[in-house]
Chains A and B, each alone.
Chain A
Amino acid sequence: RKEVEQDPGPFNVPEGATVAFNCTYSNSASQSFFWYRQDCRKEPKLLMSVYSSGNEDGRFTAQLNRASQYISLLIRDSKLSDSATYLCVVNSNQAGTALIFGKGTTLSVSS
């Protein structure tokens, strides 16, 4: 079983749509959770951290369910510029441990 699993998509949505991505992780010792965005042939960039209480950053809302080991990302009012691959990322928080990436979910927003 992969450590971080995501639906690869692609999700093809029109501008203005609301879209949700889901992710599950297998390591119950995971302590930190993130969503990264990766554009084609570029390095991943941190979109937002994910907290147990849920958190929002503009049009983006992230949720974490530790009991189910489930993470979600909601994007409201999609823009063309949101087209990218969204990576679910976890970390155990132990010193010197790497970020573990999901395969990513591809989003394509069209006009």
Chain B
Amino acid sequence: GAVVSQHPSWVICKSGTSVKIECRSLDFQATTMFWYRQFPKQSLMLMATSNEGSKATYEQGVEKDKFLINHASLTLSTLTVTSAHPEDSSFYICSATGQYGYTFGSGTRLTVV
């Protein structure tokens, strides 16, 4: 079946630093990648949609200069949280679509201290 590998699974960083999260589709081509974040006791909120080779489309209220998304190939998409602050602490998760429907990564728990 389809697998999306997401790394790191958790990260603790200092305020003001940047963190990169990677999602790789291991056995299929991910034509579209969705990035979500989930605060405690909240739903998964869509942050952005990216298609391979084009700029990501961000949801209202999500700063594109803060959350940099790269989708340079059909098997790799990255989300970089730039100048992270404690309020960015959250669970970040990717979801890829391809021939197998929607496949989720295992998520990244980011804690900014």
Contact = CB atoms under 8 A, between A and B. Distances in A.
Interface of A: 4, 8, 41-46, 87, 96-104
Contact of A103 (B31, B42, B107): B42
Q: A43, A44, A46, A99 — which one has the most chain B CB atoms within 10 A of its CB?
A: A43
A98 B43 contact: no
The secondary-structure label for the interface of chain B is strand
Across chains A and B, which 10 residue pairs bring their CB atoms closest together, nearest first? A103-B43, A43-B104, A101-B44, A98-B34, A101-B43, A98-B46, A96-B32, A43-B107, A43-B106, A43-B93
B43 A41 contact: no
A101 B46 CA distance: 9
Contacts of B49: 96-98
B102 interface: yes
The secondary-structure label for the interface of chain A is loop
A103 B32 CA distance: 24
B51 A42 contact: no
Q: A87, A98, A102, A103 — which one has the most chain B CB atoms within 10 A of its CB?
A: A98
Interface of B: 31-32, 34, 36, 41-46, 49, 51, 91, 93, 95, 97, 102, 104-107, 109
30 contacts: A4-B43, A41-B91, A41-B107, A41-B109, A42-B107, A43-B93, A43-B107, A44-B44, A44-B104, A45-B104, A46-B102, A87-B43, A87-B44, A96-B31, A96-B32, A96-B49, A96-B97, A98-B34, A98-B46, A98-B49, A98-B95, A99-B34, A99-B95, A99-B102, A101-B36, A101-B43, A101-B44, A102-B43, A103-B42, A104-B43
Nearest to A95: B32
Contacts of A87: 43-44
Contacts of A98: 34, 46, 49, 95
A69 to B, nearest CB: 17
B55 to A, nearest CB: 14
Contacts of B102: 46, 99
Given A96-B49, A98-B34, A104-B43, A43 B105 contact: yes
